[in-house]
Structure 1
Amino acid sequence: MNAAVLRKPTPGMPAHPNELDRKRIERALKSRQRYRYVSPKVVAVTGGYLIESPCCSRNIDAEGGVIDVALLHHDAPSGIWQLFCKDHKKDAWELHSTHQRLASLTDALNADPERVFWQ
Structure 2
Amino acid sequence: MNAAVLRQIDPGMPAHPNELDRKRIERALGSRQRYRYVSPKVSCVTGGYHIESPCCSRNIDADGGVIDVALLHHDAASATWQVFRKDHRTGAWELHGVHQRLGSVTDVLNADPERVFWQ
Q: Normalized against structure 1, the TM-score is what? A: 0.94
Q: 1:16 corresponds to which residue?
A: 16
Give CA-to-partner distance per residue, 1:7-57, whole Å, 9 cap, x none.
151222211100000000000000000000000000100000000000010
- Bigger shift: residues 5-14 or 15-24: 5-14
**Structure having the larger proportion of residues in helix:** 2
Report SS of the residue matched to 2:53: strand
Give CA-to-partner distance per residue, 1:31-87, whole Å, 9 cap, x none.
000000000000100000000000010000010000000000000111100110000
Q: Distance in 2 between matches of 1:93 and 1:7?
A: 33
Q: 2:91 corresponds to which residue?
A: 91
Task: Report if the CA contact (8 A) 2:81-2:100 is conserved.
Answer: yes
| Runs ≥4 residues deviating over 4 A | none
Q: What are the equivalent positions in structure 2 for 1:68-83 lying under 5 Å apart?
A: 68-83=68-83
Task: Report if the CA contact (8 A) 2:3-2:15 is conserved.
Answer: no
Q: Distance in 2 between matches of 1:6 and 1:90?
A: 38
Q: What are the equivalent positions in structure 2 for 1:14-93 lying under 5 Å apart?
A: 14-93=14-93
**What amino acid sits opposite 1:99 in the alignment?**
H
Unaligned runs of 5+ in 1: none
Q: 1:7 corresponds to which residue?
A: 5
Unaligned runs of 5+ in 2: none
Report SS of the residue matched to 1:30: helix
Give CA-to-partner distance per residue, 1:73-107, whole Å, 9 cap, x none.
00011110011000000100000011000000100
Q: Distance in 1 between matches of 2:67 and 2:113?
A: 19
| Equivalent residue pairs, number | 117
RMSD: 1.3
Q: Distance in 1 between matches of 2:4 and 2:92?
A: 39
Distance 1:6 1:93, change over 3 A: closer
